[in-house]
């Protein structure tokens, strides 16, 4: 994978396809390949798709000291976009990646042509969300199996989860590894707040909420939409892991907005 250096870190990214740049920003505790391997083929015929790993994911190491901040992760994604293509890019972010993508659009308006935010949030002071992320973070230190089962339970809608067999559920849970990078990214989940940045977003924006989201309840997506002037809003009947449950529906919404 190519590497771009920024903010004292080496950011690993890949590109695939041809056409205008499309940066996909992954969520916390995942990496770009885990999140976007199935989604990327929907876009490569018409876009140069850029998938980059921010610190703590894939081969992109944590910064010295280990702490992650929103400005660092946003700068890493901006550097990957600039290294991969000339000119502005469309940006799609999911979960924490949506928060990062919004911060990127606010900080680098000339870089972001259009913006899609999936399952994101603006504020970090929701007691229910803090309880969820806080418990998940504690389990990362206390009980690896409980950590894996907890997020698998919450990430999928009840209907989807009930339709899976035990082997599939076990495979999904095993992918949720409480690495040091995952721990630092959940720490960022707990503090990430972009309320003051929303007014700086100038790119045409599509916000997508998941109606059965138990990780970041859909009310947060609606708040994001309300805070971004002129944004468009859509909902998908899915749990938080829209990429797994409704990948084609998500791709269709994004394609219609970008085209």
**Measured distance CA(91)–CA(117) in Å, rounded:** 8
Token output for 227: 């805070």
**Measured distance CA(192)–CA(184) in Å, rounded:** 12
Question: Which one, of 230, 24, 223, lies nearest residue 120 by Cα?
Answer: 223
The catalytically annotated residue of 32, 213, 225, 231 is 213
CA dist 259 to 28, 114, 117, 236, 253, Å? 28, 10, 16, 19, 10
The three-class DSSP label of residue 208 is: strand
**Measured distance CA(105)–CA(101) in Å, rounded:** 6
Active-site residue 46, yes or no? Answer: no
Q: Which residues contact 41 (CB under 8 A, 6 or more apart)?
A: none
Active-site residue 225, yes or no? Answer: no
The catalytically annotated residue of 32, 55, 95, 231 is 95
* φ, ψ of residue 34 in degrees (nearest 5): -60, -40
Provide the CA 49 distance to its chain's centre, in angstroms. 15
Active-site residue 45, yes or no? Answer: no
Secondary structure of 42-79 as H, E, C letters: HCCCCCEEEEEECCCECCECCCCCCCCCHHHHHHHHHH
In our burial notation (b when 16+ CB lie closer than 10 A, e otherwise), range 18-46 reads: eebbbbbbbbbbbbbebbbeebbebbeee
Residues classed as catalytic: 95, 213, 240
């Amino acid at each position: 994978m190519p590497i771009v250096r920024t903010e004292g870190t080496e950011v690993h990214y890949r590109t695939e396809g041809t056409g205008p740049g499309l940066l996909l920003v992954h969520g916390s505790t995942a990496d770009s390949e885990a999140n976007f391997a199935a989604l990327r083929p929907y876009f490569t015929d018409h876009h140069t798709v850029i998938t980059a790993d921010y610190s703590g994911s894939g081969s992109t190491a944590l910064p010295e000291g280990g702490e992650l901040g929103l400005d660092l992760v946003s700068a890493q994604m901006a550097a990957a976009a600039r290294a991969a293509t000339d000119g502005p890019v469309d940006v799609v972010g999911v979960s924490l990646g949506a928060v990062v993508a919004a911060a990127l659009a606010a900080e680098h308006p000339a870089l972001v042509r259009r913006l899609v935010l999936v399952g994101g949030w603006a504020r970090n002071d929701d007691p229910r969300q803090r309880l969820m992320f806080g418990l998940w973070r504690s389990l990362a230190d206390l009980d690896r199996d409980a950590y894996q089962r907890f997020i698998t339970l919450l990430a999928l809608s009840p209907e989807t989860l009930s339709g899976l067999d035990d082997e599939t559920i076990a495979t999904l849970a095993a992918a949720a590894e409480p690495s040091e990078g995952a721990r630092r990214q959940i720490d960022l989940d707990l503090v990430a707040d972009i309320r003051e940045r929303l007014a700086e977003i100038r790119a045409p924006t599509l916000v997508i909420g998941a109606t059965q989201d138990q990780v970041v309840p859909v009310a947060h997506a609606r708040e994001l939409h309300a805070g971004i002037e002129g944004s468009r809003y859509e909902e998908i009947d899915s749990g938080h892991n829209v990429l797994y449950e409704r990948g084609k529906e998500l791709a269709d919404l994004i394609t219609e907005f970008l085209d």
